[in-house]
């Protein structure tokens, strides 16, 4: 009997639903192969939820997420909801579910596939073979710090305020995630902060040093100011193995790292909570790209980032390494064969749509499974 895995699927907005359809086909393939049984629930988040329920994060979605082994999200947001009040924008749904599930660790790998190295705007030798992991703190920092808001002062002028706050347990737990990951990779962690200006990140740096000294003697820990880190990412990205940083710095640096790989359309992410006594942890997987409303519904979107987010789910939530390897190998073969969606199109390659990219990956999975 195959194991039953409960997955909550949140297609979201824009290209979310169509890329998710391709992942559902891959899930069906794994089931047909007898590898696993998925119990899939579909839910609403972001704009889709606003339209149906009036708010971006329905209680039902949260309950379903908590009852699932893992959540797979497409993308949220779009111009249709841009003028809504701040508190009910689609993005609040995403931030809300991260916070409610305690998904403090955001893993954003930036891997350059050989076949795509030339699609990068950087020179080939700078990016070829790149494999870095950005670990972004996701439920704290300036995104959630109090006090916050916009107020009118007695003289009639206005003041906008956000607070950068981190406590030692918040810093230590994200540091551990980064160092544990590094132990399985190149054993190098670069912690990114702004300790020359911001006290909060002076504490961040001190706690990272303490953690390394007390628990990770084998880790080579270095520190970088965020402005320098952004420069180093485009100057010589291969100097990094694992980077660990705050919520906002991670938001910015991960977009930058994404472009090293040639396209946002290739990058997956995992957001993980703490493991409970039984080892179960909440987890949400989503592509780094947005909802791309300009190309939605036209069979133009690249489904690979969402498919790769699903393989992260297989690895981090279900311990299904062989299946994750198989899918990733299939993707590599497809790219090596010159099959491309528009975002990664190169001269001489074959341009395909969302569905055809799904077809191609499934066909390669068939071929690999037959040996
Ligand atoms: C991301 C996005 C989100 C963030 C937005 C949509 C709230 O940019 O996941 O990187 O800032 O975290
Ligand atoms: Mg971002």
List pLDDT tens digits, range 115-171: 999 888 999 999 999 999 999 999 999 999 999 999 999 999 999 999 999 999 999
Section 224-246 average pLDDT: 98
Q: Which two tokens stand for residue 89?
A: 């924008």
User: Average pLDDT for residues 243-247, to the nearest whole number?
Assistant: 98
pLDDT of residue 65: 97
Task: Tell me the per-residue pLDDT of 248-289, one tens digit each, with 9 for 90 and over.
Answer: 999 999 989 988 988 888 999 999 999 888 888 999 999 998
251 lines ligand 1 (CB under 6 A): yes
Give the torsion through C-alpha atoms of 292, 162, 103, 134, to 10 deg. Answer: 70
pLDDT for 73 = 97
Q: What is the Å distance from ligand 2's center to 254 Cα?
A: 7
- Cβ of 248 closer than 6 Å to ligand 1, yes or no, is no
CA nearest ligand 1 atom 9, residue: 288
- Please report which confidence band the pLDDT of residue 1 belongs to, taking 50, 70 and 90 as the band edges: low
Q: How far apart are CA 248 and CA 114, in angstroms?
A: 30
Report residue 221 CA to chain centroid gap: 23
Active site residues: 143, 194, 227, 251, 255
Q: How far is the CA of 233 from the centre of ligand 2 (A)?
A: 16
Calculate what percentage of the chain has a pLDDT beyond 70: 99
From ligand 1's centre to the CA of 213, what distance in Å?
32
Beta strands in the chain (DSSP E): 4-12, 37-42, 70-75, 105-111, 131-137, 149-152, 158-161, 188-193, 220-225, 242-245, 268-272, 283-287, 339-340, 350-351
- Average pLDDT estimate for 281-310: 96
56/277: higher pLDDT:
56
Q: Which residues contact 148 (CB under 8 A, 6 or more apart)?
A: 161, 162, 163
- What does pLDDT average to over the chain? 96
Ligand 1 within 6 A of CB of 95:
yes
3-state class of 190 per DSSP?
Answer: strand
What is the mean predicted confidence (pLDDT) over 312-330?
Answer: 96
* Ligand 2 geometric centre to CA of 274 (Å): 22
DSSP string, 65-131: HHTSSEEEEEE---GGGTTS-GGGSHHHHHHHHHHHTT--EEEEEEE--GGGGGGSSS-HHHHTT-E
Atom index in ligand 1 nearest the CA of residue 91 equals: 7
pLDDT in the model for residue 222 = 98
- Residue 330, pLDDT above cutoff 90: yes
Q: What is the pLDDT of residue 2?
A: 63
Residue-wise pLDDT tens digits, 69-82: 999 999 999 999 99
Element containing residue 336 per DSSP (H, E): helix 321-336
Most confident of 2-11, 262-271, 272-281, 347-356: 347-356
With tokens 């690999």, the residue in question is 368
Ligand at shortest distance from the CA of 45: 1
Minimal CA–CA distance to 101: which of 324, 286, 305? 286
Tokens of 256: 């930058």
* Closest to 165 measured CA to CA, from 182, 148, 140: 140
What tens digit of pLDDT does each residue of 166-189 get? 999 999 999 999 999 999 999 999
**Cβ-contact 305, 25 below 8 angstroms:** no
Share of the chain above pLDDT 90, in %: 92
The DSSP bridge pattern shows strands 105-111 and 268-272 to be antiparallel
Q: State if pTM tops 0.85.
A: yes
Is pLDDT above 60 for 314? Answer: yes
Nearest CA to ligand 1 atom 12: 251
Residue reference for tokens 């990114």? 192
Q: Which two tokens stand for residue 104?
A: 């403090």
Q: pLDDT category, 86, cuts 50, 70, 90?
A: confident
Tell me what the mean pLDDT of segment 341-354 comes to: 94
180 lines ligand 1 (CB under 6 A): no
Query: Dihedral sign, CA of 312, 317, 321, 326?
Result: negative
The string over 23-32, giving b where at least 16 C-beta atoms fall within 10 Å of a residue's C-beta and e elsewhere, is bbbbbebbee
94 Cβ below 6 A of ligand 1? yes
Q: Is 252 in the pocket of ligand 1 (CB under 6 A)?
A: no
């Amino acid at each position: 009997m195959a194991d039953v895995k409960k997955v909550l699927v949140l297609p979201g907005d824009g290209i979310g639903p169509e890329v998710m359809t391709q992942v559902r086909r891959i899930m069906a393939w794994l089931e047909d192969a007898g590898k696993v049984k998925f119990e899939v629930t579909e839910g609403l988040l972001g704009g889709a939820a606003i339209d149906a329920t009036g708010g971006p994060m329905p209680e039902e979605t949260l309950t379903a997420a908590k009852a699932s082994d893992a959540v797979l999200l497409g993308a949220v947001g779009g111009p249709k909801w841009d003028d809504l009040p701040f508190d009910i924008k689609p993005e609040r749904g995403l931030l809300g579910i991260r916070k409610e599930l305690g998904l403090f660790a955001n893993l954003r790998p930036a891997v350059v596939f050989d076949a795509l190295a030339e699609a990068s705007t950087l020179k080939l030798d700078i990016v070829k073979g790149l494999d870095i992991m950005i670990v972004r703190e996701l439920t704290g920092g300036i995104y959630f710090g109090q006090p916050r808001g916009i107020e009118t002062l007695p003289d009639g002028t206005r003041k906008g305020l956000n607070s950068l706050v981190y406590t030692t347990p918040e810093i230590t737990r994200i540091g551990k995630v980064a160092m544990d990951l590094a132990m399985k990779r190149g054993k190098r962690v670069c912690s990114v902060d702004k300790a020359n200006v911001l006290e909060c990140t002076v504490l961040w740096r001190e706690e990272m040093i303490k953690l390394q000294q007390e628990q990770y003697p084998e880790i080579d820990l270095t520190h970088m100011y965020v402005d320098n880190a952004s420069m180093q990412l485009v100057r010589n990205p291969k100097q990094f193995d694992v980077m660990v940083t705050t919520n906002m710095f991670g938001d910015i640096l991960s977009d930058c790292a994404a472009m090293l790989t040639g396209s946002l359309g290739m990058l997956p992410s995992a957001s993980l909570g703490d493991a409970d006594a039984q080892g179960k942890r909440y987890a949400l997987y989503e592509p780094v790209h947005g909802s791309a409303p300009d190309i939605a519904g036209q069979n133009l979107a690249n489904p690979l980032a969402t498919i790769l987010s699903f393989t992260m789910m297989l690895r981090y939530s279900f311990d299904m390494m062989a299946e994750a390897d198989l899918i990733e190998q299939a993707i590599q073969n497809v790219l090596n064969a010159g099959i491309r969606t528009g975002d990664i199109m190169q001269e001489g390659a074959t341009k395909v749509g969302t569905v055809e990219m799904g077809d191609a990956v499934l066909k390669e999975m068939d071929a690999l499974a037959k040996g």
